[in-house]
Chain A
Amino acid sequence: MKTAGATVAVTGVRDRLKSWQAHHRRVFISTIGELLQNPLASLMTWLVIGIALALPMILYVMLSNVSMVSGDWGGKPRVNLYLSHELAVPAARALAAEIGQEPGIEESLFVSSEEALKDFQHRSGFGDVLSTLDRNPLPHVIEVVPYEADAVLLQQMIARWESRSEVDRISVDLAWLERLFALLSFAERLVLALGLVLATGVMLIMGNTIRLAIENRRQEIVVIKLVGGTDAFVRRPFLYLGFWYGFGGAVIAFLLIQASLLFLSGPVETLAQSYRDDFALTGLGVAGNLLLLVGGSLLGIVGALLSVSRHLAEIEPT
């Protein structure tokens, strides 16, 4: 029996592992090369993915900044007692101390009309106008912070204070705060929903792009299958293609987010600093940006995987 040359070429495990790694390396490089050979078409896809990723991320960044600012109130109601103009400072101060002693009150802060005027001049920019007034129009104020935002207890307290002759008017800022928090949690949901929708969009774009790539290489896939290429071997370049699309899209998204932060930071910080002195617009941070890159790449790979598993099985040699 003649056997020379009639043995299947056998390769060792180590050789195979090496060649497996080499193939990954080769495909990793060759797929990005393919994309760069067609820079305009690739850039279009990257931009679409980048915008789809950036949009919810920018909203998220804005939202978390707003939450950070509003979080300072801690969700506690704040009751302002405007005192009658006739009341002298010592009496008003005594009233503030008395209210501070009441059960359920965390803090009772007295702000005299002079202090209030100074503060108002400083913050509002109406200093010149105010100085022309012959009399301070502002009343003394007691800022009361109850421990809990229990509506019934709060009503009782307010009724009690209102009945006192020293108190002119009472305002509670609970309502708008509640509205703000409701609005914030609504916005959070909205961003989440938008993020999910756009992430799905990214995967569909990826799926379609990969489907076209598969279609373009139909002949190659058939030949590879005929000469003994495994599904994994056939799949590999498309998964790397998905990775590069996702990664490139995430890089574009990163740039878009940075650009819009830069664009918005001026006006937003001016606005915010009229409420708080130390406000600075916060971006995604290192961890957030890493997550964006990893997430974008993963979306690309998953989108490609879905497309590949659907379309590769259809391509069989006949």
Chain B
Amino acid sequence: MIRFDSVSKRYEGGVDALSRVSFELDSSEMAFLTGHSGAGKSTLMKLIMLMERASQGQVFVNGTNLNRVSRGQIPHVRRGVGVVFQNHQLLFDRNVYDNVALPLSIAGFSPREVGRRVRAALAKVGLSDKEKKFPVALSGGEQQRVGIARAVVNKPPVLLADEPTGNLDPELSREVMNLFDQFNQVGVTVLIATHDLELVRTMGRRELVLRQGQLVSGGEA
């Protein structure tokens, strides 16, 4: 579901963010992406979301070669990738329901179908009673779960999370991880970038380790 074929990314100015990274995440596999700041985690995630393009090599997501995706096709690729952001990226001028519904209205679901899926997603993250609330009225952990609900409401085959537990205490972090685990149980490919090595160890999943743009461990399944 995610495959990197000796992918390099060089930013303008000659900085090599990634060099010859190769790995493959199977459908319904869950893995962690670790490494120091600047090791290339963000760049790798951005390549999957088509926020950046590879300088060399090929990235495949859901069977699509991202090198061949034109600008106009980017939205359609992104609909197959749910993303949970560290800073949540919620819209503060609309309530929880509308935040979660956004990917569905973009993809063109009927209002009834939107309602059904949004409620299911909110139930999944335990926020059924908060759908009318605005994000400012929620705690950090709740905001994070709204972000997760929005990432999965469209049932994307791939779920990315960038430091999803960065601002959470250990107990909330564990809850969030359990959620990802559950999505993985139903067949979603999950890739989580994190600093939290302790948590990674307790989860006991595959770990991709980046160091200065190179994949130093976890490349082979």
Mark A residues whose CB is within 8 Å of B: 1-9, 11, 15-16, 18-20, 22-23, 219-220, 222-231, 233, 316-318
Contacts and interface: CB of A to CB of B under 8 A. Distances in A.
A31 to B, nearest CB: 15
7 closest Cβ contacts across the A-B interface? Answer: A6-B187, A228-B79, A19-B108, A5-B186, A2-B187, A228-B78, A16-B108
Contacts of A228: 75-79, 103, 106-107, 154
A227 B102 contact: yes
B107 A9 contact: yes
B126 interface: no
A18 B111 CA distance: 10
A225 to B, nearest CB: 7
A113 B80 CA distance: 96
A3 B107 CA distance: 21
Contacts of A3: 27-28, 187
5 contacts: A5-B186, A5-B187, A6-B27, A11-B109, A220-B91
A22 B78 CA distance: 22
B83 interface: yes
Contacts of B78: 225-228
A6 B79 contact: no
A219 B107 CA distance: 19
A3 B26 CA distance: 12
A3 B28 CA distance: 8
Nearest to A219: B91
Contacts, number: 103
B75 A9 contact: no
A16 B104 CA distance: 11
Residue from A7, A8, A223, A227 with most neighbouring chain B CB atoms (10 Å)? A227
Contacts of A18: 110
B206 interface: no
Given A2-B187, A3-B187, A226-B78, A8 B155 contact: yes
B106 A229 contact: yes
Given A223-B89, A224-B102, A8 B108 contact: no
B80 A8 contact: yes
Given A15-B108, A223-B102, A6 B51 contact: no
B105 interface: yes
A227 B100 CA distance: 11
B106 A318 contact: no
A222 B91 CA distance: 10
B145 interface: no
Given A19-B110, A23-B108, 12 more contacts: A1-B187, A2-B187, A3-B28, A6-B186, A6-B188, A9-B109, A20-B108, A225-B75, A227-B102, A228-B77, A230-B106, A231-B75
Contacts of A15: 108-110
A231 B90 CA distance: 20
Contacts of B108: 11, 15-16, 19-20, 23
Contacts of B111: 22
Contacts of A20: 108
A155 B113 CA distance: 88
Contacts of B104: 9
